[in-house]
């Protein structure tokens, strides 16, 4: 077997080191000069709405799409010039489950084990082991076509762990899952991190990035528009939002004046629904606002305190909405 | 979720270190294991979609009986005289029509999510193509065995005896496997399964019907004769006839083997190249 030693450790302190990544589809630039640095052992979240270019960017880093501009290194290994080496370092879990519909769960894991060079017996035991660890043993001999979304995702993740890759890509691991399954997936991801994996995950949900990621890059229309910890991002829009709907739309302006007086800042008006969105540095100030409104005889139909949504982070950073047609996370 | 570790391996629960030796290309032994793993997958698929066996069982039964009885009298004067001509012809034709399905199968397969995973794995780029081709040999075996058996049942007694027939059978299967690489390449180049199907038909018809598979070539007009003579399928047909009817390893057999090898040598690398590029 031909082998090449990996570069010295200094070059591999970064699990991912990409600069100026570009991908063009015809005249459309899906990824437009993204720089990304993921440190060893961290969970890095790439947050962005549908169509932002997350999958395209991951595909380039995973050698699935040629890189049209810029360069990327995985643990110091150049992606464009050494794809075979990079494939030995990265486990990929796709946005759309990349397992074989025609095979059972066990057969899928056995196949990937064999492809990765395991002897037959070892491929079998690794397959059974992983099914066990991902709570899929009962479904081992069922065809994937009958699997629920959550089961597919778990199997997909299990499949990408066969080679025990030091870096794992998770492309929207919980999109489309119900809240309970999403929580399970989060637990799984946390366990992986505890075992020393480095993870690059993409998501459309700020709270998912918040729950899992050490650092977050926000991308929009192929560009990176912000980067930081979850707290830093949220601080840029206020820590939470008080959403109010008024009984009488005509009170909107008057209510805004009251809020401005109490908090010293103007709320965002959403006149089409007769409401106000009020950024709160401190969630306790919500009570002050409500009391002041009662005193001014403005009556409220609904009130809710919410963590900032991706859309609000977006609005704050880019000045436009995220055009996100999928559901927001409450 | 259990409290066990998620990463497989009982000895070390941690991800593999990054500063281990990385192989720069798969070795031959690794490539073979990957190819057989992909073949294993295709065989599983095949037996779960039994319609893949329709063409290889029905076509030999129908075509052998039909061609022999319909054309037998007209072309050779009698059915018995026509058999030594037509059975090898149908063998070759069956080989091509059954291996044609490779292209459409592959194209449909490549559009599925699991191919993204195959691409992301450190495996030889030829394995996802060579695996299905290897598995497809099962279908060629069924088709050629049935064709010969139907011929025998209809009273054909190959002059080449058992070994001549065995050699002809093996050559047919090898030819099918080789020609399949043309269709595999089409599958990697074209965008839709329909396009692959259409193009494959366009290639298949002249190759089989403008050959000496069904008629002795000296009955053909000059221009057609010229094409029939350069058509590689004609060489396979003649080689199969030589083996089956005379049991002799003639120069034609050598040419057929050489031609088939050349097809693989040209189209396998082309297919791998376009597969590696295509997303
Ligand atoms: N193969 C492709 N051909 C043309 N356009 C594409 C292709 N893949 C993605 N796109 C476009 O690139 C943009 C980014 O897509 P994608 O990376 O899938 O976004 P995300 O994963 O963030 O939802 C989208 O506008 C999408 O329509
Ligand atoms: Mg995506």
Q: Where are the domains of chain B?
A: 29-278
Per-residue pLDDT, averaged over B125-151, amounts to 93
Q: Is B2 on the interface with A (CB under 8 A)?
A: yes
- The whole-number pLDDT of residue A216 equals 93
Q: Is A191 on the interface with B (CB under 8 A)?
A: yes
CA distance B76 to B73: 6
Relative to beta strand A275-280, strand A240-246 is antiparallel
Residue A25 alpha carbon, nearest atom of ligand 1: 4
Q: Is B222 on the interface with A (CB under 8 A)?
A: no
Same domain, A255 and A285: yes
CA distance A79 to A58: 12
Same domain, A254 and A205: no
Q: Which residues surround ligand 2, an ion (CB under 5 A)?
A: A 54-55, 95
- The whole-number pLDDT of residue B230 equals 80
Q: Which residue minimizes the CA distance to atom 17 of ligand 1?
A: A53
Same domain, A117 and A51: yes
Per-residue pLDDT, averaged over A38-55, amounts to 92
- The whole-number pLDDT of residue B145 equals 94
pTM, entire model: 0.82
- The whole-number pLDDT of residue B2 equals 40
A54 CA to middle of ligand 2, Å? 5
Cβ within 8 Å of B, A 259-318:
none
User: Are B165 and B244 in contact, with CB atoms under 8 Å apart?
Assistant: yes
A/B interface, count of CB pairs below 8 Å: 168
Q: Which residue has the tokens 């490779």?
A: B102
Q: Is B11 on the interface with A (CB under 8 A)?
A: no
**Residue (of B79, B87, B123, B39) closest to B213 by Cα position:** B87
CA distance B12 to B6: 11
CA distance B40 to B49: 14
Same domain, A260 and A176: no
User: Are B64 and B79 in contact, with CB atoms under 8 Å apart?
Assistant: no
Residue A164: count of CB within 10 angstroms of its CB:
22
Which residue range forms the structural domain that includes residue A303? 238-307
Residues of A in contact with B37 (CB under 8 A): 111, 114-115
Pocket test for ligand 1, best of A22, A24, A26, A30 (most atoms within 8 A of CB): A30
Q: Which residues of A96-116 are buried (b: 16+ CB within 10 A; e: fewer)?
A: ebbbbbbbbbbbbbbbbbbbb
User: Are B192 and B200 in contact, with CB atoms under 8 Å apart?
Assistant: no
Q: Which residue has the tokens 């409220």?
A: A300
In a domain, A315, yes or no: no
Q: Which residue minimizes the CA distance to atom 11 of ligand 1?
A: A30
In a domain, A3, yes or no: no
CA distance A149 to chain B (A): 14
Residue A59 alpha carbon, nearest atom of ligand 1: 17
The structural domain count of chain A equals 2
Same domain, A212 and A254: no
Per-residue pLDDT, averaged over B40-69, amounts to 86
* CATH number of the domain where residue A265 is located: 3.30.70.920
User: Are A188 and A156 in contact, with CB atoms under 8 Å apart?
Assistant: no
- Pick from A75, A87, A188: which is nearest to B122 by CB? A87
User: Are A142 and A104 in contact, with CB atoms under 8 Å apart?
Assistant: yes
Per-residue pLDDT, averaged over A211-230, amounts to 90
Q: What are phi and psi of A109, to 5 degrees?
A: -65, -35
As given in the structure block, the two tokens for residue B201 are: 């038909």
Residues A288-330 have pLDDT tens digits of 899 999 998 888 888 888 777 666 777 777 767 666 444 433 3
Distance of CA B166 to the CA centre of its chain: 18
Are B24 and A100 inside 8 Å of each other by CB?
no
Strand order across the beta sheet in which A77-78 lies: A28-39, A14-25, A69-74, A77-78
pLDDT over 60 at A262, yes or no: yes
**Residue (of A123, A128, A116) closest to A90 by Cα position:** A116
Are B22 and A3 inside 8 Å of each other by CB?
yes
- Angle, helices A120-133/A149-161, rounded to nearest 10 degrees: 140
As given in the structure block, the two tokens for residue A293 are: 């409104």
Read off the pLDDT band of A172 (50, 70, 90).
very high
Same domain, A107 and A250: no
- Pick from B15, B122, B123: which is nearest to A195 by CB? B15
In a domain, A140, yes or no: yes
Pocket (CB within 6 angstroms of ligand 1): A 25, 30, 48, 50-56
- Pick from A5, A65, A161: which is nearest to B21 by CB? A5
Q: Which residues of A176-187 are buried (b: 16+ CB within 10 A; e: fewer)?
A: ebeeebbebbee
- Pick from B33, B38, B116: which is nearest to A94 by CB? B116
CA distance A262 to chain B (A): 47
CA distance B38 to chain A (A): 8
- The whole-number pLDDT of residue B261 equals 94
CA distance B69 to chain A (A): 41
Q: What are phi and psi of A168, to 5 degrees?
A: -125, 130
Are A6 and B113 inside 8 Å of each other by CB?
no
Same domain, A162 and A105: yes
**Concatenated DSSP letters of A16-72:** EEEEEEEEEETTEEEEEEEEEEEETT-EEEEE--TTSSHHHHHHHHTTSS---EEEE
pLDDT over 60 at B279, yes or no: no
Cβ within 8 Å of A, B 115-154:
115-123, 127
Read off the pLDDT band of A8 (50, 70, 90).
very low
- The whole-number pLDDT of residue A125 equals 94
Same domain, A197 and A273: no
As given in the structure block, the two tokens for residue A272 are: 């089409």
Percentage with pLDDT > 90 across chain A: 39
Same domain, A85 and A132: yes
Q: What are the angstrom distances between the C-alpha of B218 and each of B75, B238, B243, B248?
A: 12, 13, 20, 22
- The whole-number pLDDT of residue B11 equals 42
CA distance A92 to A90: 6
SS3 at position A170: strand
User: Are A197 and A125 in contact, with CB atoms under 8 Å apart?
Assistant: no
Same domain, A206 and A247: no
Q: Which residue minimizes the CA distance to atom 1 of ligand 1?
A: A25
Q: What are the angstrom distances between the C-alpha of A134 and each of A273, B3, B6?
A: 44, 11, 8
A28 CA to middle of ligand 1, Å? 9
CA distance A149 to A163: 23
Q: Of A108-122, A129-143, A234-248, B135-149, which range is least confident?
A: A234-248
Per-residue pLDDT, averaged over A119-131, amounts to 93
Q: Is B24 on the interface with A (CB under 8 A)?
A: yes
Q: Which residue minimizes the CA distance to atom 12 of ligand 1?
A: A30
Output the average pLDDT for chain B.
86
Per-residue pLDDT, averaged over B136-165, amounts to 91
Output the average pLDDT for chain A.
85
Residues B237-276 have pLDDT tens digits of 999 999 999 988 888 899 999 989 999 999 999 999 999 8
CA distance A60 to chain B (A): 11
Are B24 and A89 inside 8 Å of each other by CB?
no
Are A166 and B18 inside 8 Å of each other by CB?
yes
Same domain, A43 and A121: yes
Same domain, A209 and A244: no
CA distance A85 to A6: 9
């Amino acid at each position: 077997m031909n082998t090449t030693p990996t570069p010295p450790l200094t070059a591999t302190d970064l699990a991912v080191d990409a600069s100026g990544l570009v991908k063009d589809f015809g005249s459309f630039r899906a990824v437009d000069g993204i720089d990304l640095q993921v440190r060893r052992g961290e969970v890095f979240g790439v947050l962005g709405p549908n169509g932002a270019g997350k999958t395209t960017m991951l595909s380039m880093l995973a050698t699935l799409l040629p890189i049209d501009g810029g360069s990327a290194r995985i643990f110091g290994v150049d992606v464009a010039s050494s794809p075979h080496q990079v494939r030995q370092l990265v486990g990929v879990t796709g946005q759309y489950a990349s397992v074989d519909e025609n095979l059972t769960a066990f057969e899928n894991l056995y196949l990937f084990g064999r492809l990765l060079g395991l002897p037959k017996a070892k491929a079998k035991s690794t397959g059974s082991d992983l099914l066990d660890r991902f709570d899929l043993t009962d479904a081992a001999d069922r065809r994937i076509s009958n699997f629920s979304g959550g089961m597919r995702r778990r199997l997909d993740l299990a499949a990408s762990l066969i080679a025990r890759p030091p870096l794992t890509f998770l492309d929207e691991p919980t999109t489309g899952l119900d809240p309970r399954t999403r929580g399970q997936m989060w637990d799984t991801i946390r366990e992986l991190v505890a075992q020393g994996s480095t993870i690059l995950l993409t998501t459309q949900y700020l709270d998912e990035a918040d729950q899992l990621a050490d650092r977050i890059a926000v991308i929009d229309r192929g560009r990176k528009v912000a980067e930081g910890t979850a707290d830093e991002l949220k601080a840029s829009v206020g820590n939470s939002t008080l959403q109010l709907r008024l009984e009488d739309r005509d009170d909107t302006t008057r209510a805004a004046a009251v809020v401005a007086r109490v908090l010293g800042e103007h709320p965002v008006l959403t006149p089409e629904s007769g409401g106000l969105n009020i950024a709160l540095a401190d969630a306790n100030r919500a009570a002050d606002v409500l009391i002041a409104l009662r005193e001014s005889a403005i009556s409220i139909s609904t009130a809710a305190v919410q963590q900032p949504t991706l859309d609000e982070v977006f609005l704050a950073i880019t000045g436009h909405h995220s055009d996100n047609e999928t559901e927001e996370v409450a | 979720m259990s409290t066990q570790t998620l990463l497989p391996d009982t000895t070390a629960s941690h991800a593999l270190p990054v500063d281990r030796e990385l192989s720069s290309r798969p070795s031959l032994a690794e490539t073979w294991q990957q190819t057989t793993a992909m073949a294993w997958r295709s065989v599983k698929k095949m037996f779960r979609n039994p319609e893949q066996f329709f063409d290889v069982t029905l076509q030999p039964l129908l075509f052998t009986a039909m061609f022999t009885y319909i054309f037998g009298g007209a072309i050779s004067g009698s059915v018995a005289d026509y058999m030594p001509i037509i059975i090898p012809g149908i063998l070759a034709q069956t080989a091509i029509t059954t291996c044609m399905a490779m292209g459409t199968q592959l194209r449909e397969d490549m559009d599925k999510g699991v191919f993204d995973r195959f691409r992301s794995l450190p495996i030889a780029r030829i394995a996802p193509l060579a695996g299905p081709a290897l598995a497809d040999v099962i279908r060629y075996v069924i088709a050629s065995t049935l064709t010969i058996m139907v011929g025998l049942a209809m009273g054909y007694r190959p002059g080449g005896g058992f070994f001549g027939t065995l050699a002809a059978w093996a050559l047919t299967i090898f030819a099918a496997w080789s020609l399949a690489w043309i269709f595999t390449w089409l599958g990697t180049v074209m965008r839709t399964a329909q396009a692959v199907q259409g193009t494959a038909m366009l290639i298949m018809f002249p190759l089989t019907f403008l050959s000496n598979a069904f008629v002795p070539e000296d009955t053909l007009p000059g221009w057609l004769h010229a094409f029939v003579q350069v058509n590689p399928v004609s060489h396979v047909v003649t080689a199969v006839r030589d083996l089956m009817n005379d049991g002799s390893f003639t120069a034609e057999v050598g040419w057929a083997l050489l031609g088939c090898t050349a097809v693989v040598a040209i189209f396998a690398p082309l297919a791998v190249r376009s597969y590696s590029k295509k997303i």
